[in-house]
Amino acid sequence: MTGLLANAVLASLFILIIAMALALVRLFRGPSAQDRVLALDYLYILGMLMMLVLGIRYASDTYFEGALLIALFGFVGSFALAKFLLRGEVIE
């Protein structure tokens, strides 16, 4: 891997970290519970993208499986949280 691609990978990891920080702002500030669930779901997607970029950085296939697992667990987690909100037992 030459300098161009290595630098691009580093830059995109940095941008993804900024995005995660922004999503964390919404997660902590979000006025309602659904805002927090939305931010958590977004964090999962960002983490998955980060795994794909890391896979390119280390030229390894293993990261792809990690990304697939994060996507699946993120789906299950967000689904459960959204379902819990929908049942309406926690109304602010």
Partner 1 sequence: MTQTLPFWLELTTAGLLLAGSLFAMLGALGLVRLKDYFQRMHPPALASTLGAWCVALASILYFSGLKQSPVLHAWLIPILLSITVPVTTLLLARAALFRKRAAGEDVPEEVSGRDGGN
Footprint of partner 1 (CB under 8 A): 1-2, 4-5, 7-9, 11-13, 15-16, 18-20, 22-23, 25-26, 32-35, 37-39, 41-42, 45-46, 48-49, 52-53, 55-56, 59, 61, 64, 67-68, 71-72, 75, 78-79, 82-83, 85-86, 88, 91-92
Find the shortest distance in angstroms from Cβ 77 to partner 1: 9
Distances (CA, A) of 34 to 22, 68, 73, 79, 88: 17, 25, 19, 12, 12
Contact assessment for residue 20 and residue 43, using Cβ atoms and an 8 Å cutoff: yes
How many degrees, rounded to 5, is the angle at CA 14 between CA 24 and CA 61?
Answer: 100
The C-alpha atoms of residue 54 and residue 76 are separated, in whole angstroms, by 24
